[in-house]
Structure 1
């Protein structure tokens, strides 16, 4: 999909993902980058980082969990901001609803 709004959305999502990956603790970020981004095997990552394969699996699993949690928090905040009704927007909605309830024409 090459529509401009979709391209912009993907770029913003990529920026958010990169920022979240940068926030991972070093040991988890290294494993995540090698396994998740570079698509190396557990054995290859184990050899490169000189850590046991079980540690690679654990760190990759935990890094993904940390990313999911962080992205979930980002999403919750974005949803809250998207439907924020304080201020002028709230006042317009309240006036519109009151006008509808009273049977008067709306003044927008």
Structure 2
């Protein structure tokens, strides 16, 4: 079952130290606040490495446990977000290396399928046709992102999906800013190429006007013509 999205909670810089202190002391509310604040970003970064929802969730849980066990060592030299991200990425890379060493067999069909990461729809009115179209587009974007080479994929997720700056991405991935820019350029080009090749069949169903919306219009016209049943 795909991870449900979390709503990031802005934590003032001046309150971060206090939050860390309370979490280190074992205050559940502080631990929960840290997880809810960073969950979305950490999940996406871990998934960018592993490309599997179940593995990403499992590794993220391990990363949180490791982080909270060592929270007392956090000195604030980097932001808590960066510190947690590095722990999560290291955990994901360790899992990936372990999988390669074991020459893990291909995942079962039900896990091999790319799953949709839920996100809030722009429209508040349920429209099955439009929801389906949006899901199809998201599916293509996720598949195209998963198909990127790992070095490009991590930069793309950090910069485009998470919105980190070039400097933040460089610090997180321990790269030179120029390398981040180059990899992002190549990642975007690869994504664009893949989407252009596959988006045609999906766009055939763009701007859907069937189902509920079509029936609503039909009934309105029939009513105005005095033909409503």
> 1:61-100 counterparts in 2 under 5 A?
61-76=185-200, 78=201
Q: Aligned-pair RMSD on alpha carbons?
A: 1.5
Partner of 1:42: 166
Moved over 6 A (4+): none
Partner of 1:90: none
Q: Partner of 2:163: helix, strand, or coil?
A: coil
Aligned residue-pair number: 79
- Deviations, residues 43-86 of structure 1 (Å, cap 9, x unaligned): 0110111111011011111101100000111135x28xx7xxxx
Task: Could you tell me which runs of 5 or more consecutive residues in structure 2 were left unpaired when the two chains were aligned.
Answer: 1-122, 205-229
Q: Which has the larger radius of gyration?
A: 1
Partner of 1:103: none
Mapped to 1, the partners of 2:135 and 2:198 lie a distance apart of: 16
Partner of 2:129: 5
Structure having the higher helix fraction is 1
Task: Could you tell me which runs of 5 or more consecutive residues in structure 1 were left unpaired when the two chains were aligned.
Answer: 83-108
Q: Partner of 2:175: helix, strand, or coil?
A: coil
Mapped to 2, the partners of 1:75 and 1:16 lie a distance apart of: 8
Does residue 56 in structure 1 map to residue 168 in structure 2?
no
